[in-house]
A and B are shown apart, each in its own frame.
Chain A
Amino acid sequence: MKTVNHTPMKFVSWQWTLAVLLLLSSLLTACGGANNSNSNIGNQNGSNAAAGEATPAANNGNSSQEQTPTAPSGKVVVYTAGPEGLAAKIKEGFEAKYGITVEQFDGTTGKVLGRLEAEKSNPVADIVILASWPSAMAMKQEGWTQGYPEAANVDKLQPDWVDSDYHLFGYSASALGITYNTKLVSEPPTDWSDLTDPKWAGAVNIPDPSLSGSALDFISGYLNDKGEEEWSFFSQLKENGVAMSGANKEALDPVITGAKSIVMAGVDYMAYSAKAKGEPVDIVYPASGTVINPRAAMIMKTSPNLDNARLFIDYLLSDEAQALVTGAYLLPGRADIKADNRTNTEDIKLLDYDWNWMSEQGEAISAKFLELFK
């Protein structure tokens, strides 16, 4: 096996390769259709067989692009930005209730958006769930989504957790707090500004706003509340050694193991669930207020399985799914349901922010923050 790995390619006629590569570009158009089908028949057959074994839903996988937009089929394609455990439970629950297969892509807000953009020419998603409300608003603005005013229980949602055209459904939410390791921190900070104290130098993580929609919401919400000159606050954080560290879980894990002491602007449900598991962490909500970001579920305008997509939204707002939401330590989207395992929506002090402003500024703020912290 050794020989293969490092046997050098013999570039006997290297110039020749270059010539061929250049020639290829002209051949590109010439060898379009016919040869494709020849050369890949083997591949396709082979993997169809595998697909059959892997999941029953896979039978539909290959033909998804060819379906007409409204033809009902036995599946719904959901792109969701975590939390993984809850997403899996909702998938199971929905499948059990309606007998419709859920094909699910679990990612972060950034990855879901990235995937949607990459697939723009061949869209496959029916439902998109983002962890950032402003990002969802931006999607609506750009015409990616469609409305569903008839959604069941939509009137019971928290005020402002659904938009006026019924494109965005805030079926659950997380609040951002300061999560700390209880073994390392005896006096937790009480407000965001405490984190610029040299006491916390090098001990604080913040999730990467280009990956974590909720962290982006905190940053833009904070700037919205305090005024844009408050970028100096983030510069001070940077000077105090605050590290930008991946998505929410990546930011939290070092705090659980004690590599860091604190996550700022981390989602609270992760802290609650780690705490419930017995890990040495706890969370405080800063005195000056924070951001609650509803997780927006949306139906894509191009939804190939529209009927199923609508059923999925109905399911998200049902008692059953809302119970799953509170079970995962998230804030329920419906105002008539209370969580008993965590602080409820009305008990969390909020910063003064405007979703519209945040939605407009989001991309610029994310870029500026990355430039500052990278």
Chain B
Amino acid sequence: MSKSYRGELRFPATSWLMLLAFLLLILLVGVPLVMVLLHSLFPDSVFDMLAPFKVLSNPGLFSYFWNSIVLGAWVVLGSTLLALPMAFLSARTTIGRHAWLDVVLIIPFMTPPYIGSMGWILFMQRRGFAEQLFPAAAKLTPHFFSLFGMVAIMSLHLFPFLYLILRNALQRIGGSLEEAGSVHGGGVFYMLRRVVFPLLLGSYAMGALLIFVKTIAEFGTPATFGRQIGFYVLTSEIHRYTSNWPIDFGTATSLASVLLGACLVFWYIQNIISRRYQYNTLGGKGMRTRILPLRGWRAVLGWGYTIGLLLLSIAIPYFSIIATSLQKLRGDGLAWHNVTLAHYGELLRPGSKGWQALMNSLGLAGIAATVAVLIGLFLVLQMGSMKRWTERGLDMLSLLPNTVPGIVIVVGLILFWNAPWMPLPIYNTYSMVVLTYVVFYLPYSVQYIKASASQIDGSLLQAGKVFGGKPLYIFRRIALPLLVPGVLAGWMMTFTISARELVASLMVLPPSMQVTATYIFSQFEQGEVSLGMAMAVVSVGFTTLVLVIMNHLGADRK
């Protein structure tokens, strides 16, 4: 992506701003992560290079690490099984003409995993919705509460990533390469083996490792479903050691270092693989993809698969969530006389706890999104043409939070901002939450704004200069208007995700405050599940609405 950068977009090009950008990122992202590493290397204030590894020699703690790895591997397999047929159907058959499918298939990924898992639990548990709808399901449902169920839930959440990557790769391969294969006498399987698979491998490796890293960094599903089946992983245990008595920050940071190390190693492997298996599939010639018309049993199979996938990944979790949010008595199950809107009434009554949580979420997310795009804009301007190592370094550092598991960042931020020598009393205030969201989602802002910036041709700015514009004027009248779509997209994305964020909210919210995610979580733990699920519907519904509206406005702009 850096190659396509031609614009000389850097305002004003003084180096102290560059320095400031670096210091900002180091303070926001760098220092907290270093704090985690340092803390784990200094158990009992004595330096011990091997301390994080010693943690792994404890069989109990090692099992968390091993569980994480095993879970990651299974989820990669699960998402592959789900995504590959769908990618094929969408790239190579007439099913791909239905553009709405791409939008709908993003929904599972946009559903916060803790909400999706709760939906599955409510559906599959004994005398849950599955058994109420199909009494025969009682034989199957107990088997769901196992590693298999956890893998299924997480795969159904993460497969859209892999689907998008594989579909794009398949589309790029194009028919001509395959035709070349058959012209030279290759059979179907030979061609798959020697043409399609090698070409797919680079993209697949990238997607698979991404899924893997996302899985081991995931908190929501282990914290809900994992705890029910007694499957404990690194993230859930880090949370336990940092927020539950007896507290053990030493162990928590060691586990966090291990998790951080594992993620970085896998990112590195991914990077090597995707560089080694990169092929130029985009030639100067026009591209034709062979689209398979679906008829007869093939159509039944293709559509059957598509609909089945949508049922599993969207319909079932959302059915449980909505049904639960409408239940008058949880003990009376699914029945028309048991339907009530009272939970929504309670939530939307101004002044109620739910209402306050909702307002807190929206307020915090709004501020976090605004701060994040401002910082993002500033950083992108410093990145300029991305030619110098400082500029690339800035880019990399700003994307780091996307690579590192959220829970590791939170632990680092707590260690840093709650340190006894910290002069700024941010910890335990609203600022801390905003700060955490900003650090978490800065990469989104940077990415979107960078994408906008890369489209601005240097000649536009030169034209400005030729006509005597001062730097600030050029920035205000030429660059900024062109960057606005990126800024808006970044804002919207940060807002939506911050408003649903769970792990940071659980760990850094000041005592008297709740946001939607912690509200839902605590209703599941302590209060009324129906209220929690009603909040899930409201929160997901509202943020999706914001997304749709902003998208619409963005479309008008262009």
Contacts and interface: CB of A to CB of B under 8 A. Distances in A.
Interface of A: 1-14, 16-17, 20-21, 24-25, 27-28, 31-33, 35-40, 42-44, 46-51, 53-55, 57-58, 61-66, 77, 79, 82-84, 88, 102-106, 108-115, 117-119, 121-122, 124-125, 135, 181, 183, 210-211, 244-250, 253-254, 256-260, 277-281, 363, 371, 374
A53 B34 CA distance: 35
B28 A39 contact: yes
Given A27-B26, A279-B329, A4 B493 contact: yes
A24 B30 contact: yes
A58 B419 CA distance: 22
6 contacts: A6-B206, A13-B393, A13-B396, A42-B374, A55-B512, A279-B331
A122 B268 CA distance: 39
A28 B395 CA distance: 21
A65 B246 CA distance: 24
Report which residue of A32, A40, A66, A371 has the largest number of chain B beta carbons within 10 angstroms of its beta carbon: A40
Contacts of B244: 110-111, 113-114, 210-211
B216 interface: no
A118 B242 contact: yes
Report which residue of B329, B353, B403 has the largest number of chain A beta carbons within 10 angstroms of its beta carbon: B329
Given A21-B34, A35-B27, A258-B331, A104 B526 contact: no
Contacts of B319: none
Report which residue of B28, B271, B353 has the largest number of chain A beta carbons within 10 angstroms of its beta carbon: B271
Contact of B526 (A47, A58, A248, A257): A248
Contacts of B38: 25, 28
Contacts of B240: 210
Nearest to A58: B430
Contacts of B2: 10, 12
Contacts of A111: 243-245
Given A24-B31, A259-B126, A42 B371 contact: yes
A46 B363 contact: no
A243 to B, nearest CB: 8
A103 B402 CA distance: 34
B243 A51 contact: no
B364 A50 contact: yes
B228 interface: yes
Nearest to A80: B511
B296 interface: no
Given A44-B424, A61-B429, A117-B247, 10 more contacts: A8-B210, A17-B393, A28-B38, A35-B23, A61-B510, A84-B522, A104-B512, A108-B525, A114-B243, A245-B228
B540 to A, nearest CB: 16
Contacts of A9: 267, 271, 396, 399, 402-403
Nearest to A31: B23
Given A50-B430, A246-B227, A33 B271 contact: no
Contacts, number: 275
Contacts of A36: 27, 423-424
A281 B331 contact: yes
A181 B393 CA distance: 61
Nearest to B210: A6
B427 A122 contact: yes
A374 B227 CA distance: 9
B125 interface: yes
B426 interface: yes
B5 interface: no
A119 B428 contact: yes
B426 A257 contact: no
A121 to B, nearest CB: 4
B447 interface: yes
Contact of A104 (B34, B161, B511): B511
A131 B161 CA distance: 44
Contacts of B128: 257, 259
Interface string B106-134: 10010000000000001001111000000
Interface string B486-526: 00010001000000000000000011110000000010111
A66 B489 CA distance: 40
Nearest to B402: A9
A84 B523 CA distance: 10
Contact of A62 (B161, B431, B443, B522): B431
Q: Which 9 A-B pairs have the closest CB atoms?
A: A105-B511, A113-B245, A258-B127, A103-B512, A259-B125, A259-B126, A47-B431, A117-B247, A121-B420
A10 B1 contact: yes
Contacts of B27: 31, 35-36, 39-40
B274 interface: yes
Nearest to A8: B206
A39 B230 CA distance: 43
A96 B403 CA distance: 49
Interface in B501-558: 510-513, 522, 524-527, 529
Interface in B394-430: 395-397, 399, 402-403, 414, 418-420, 423-430
A43 B524 contact: no
A212 to B, nearest CB: 10
A246 B428 contact: no
B222 interface: no
B164 interface: yes
Given A28-B34, A31-B26, A118-B242, A103 B511 contact: yes
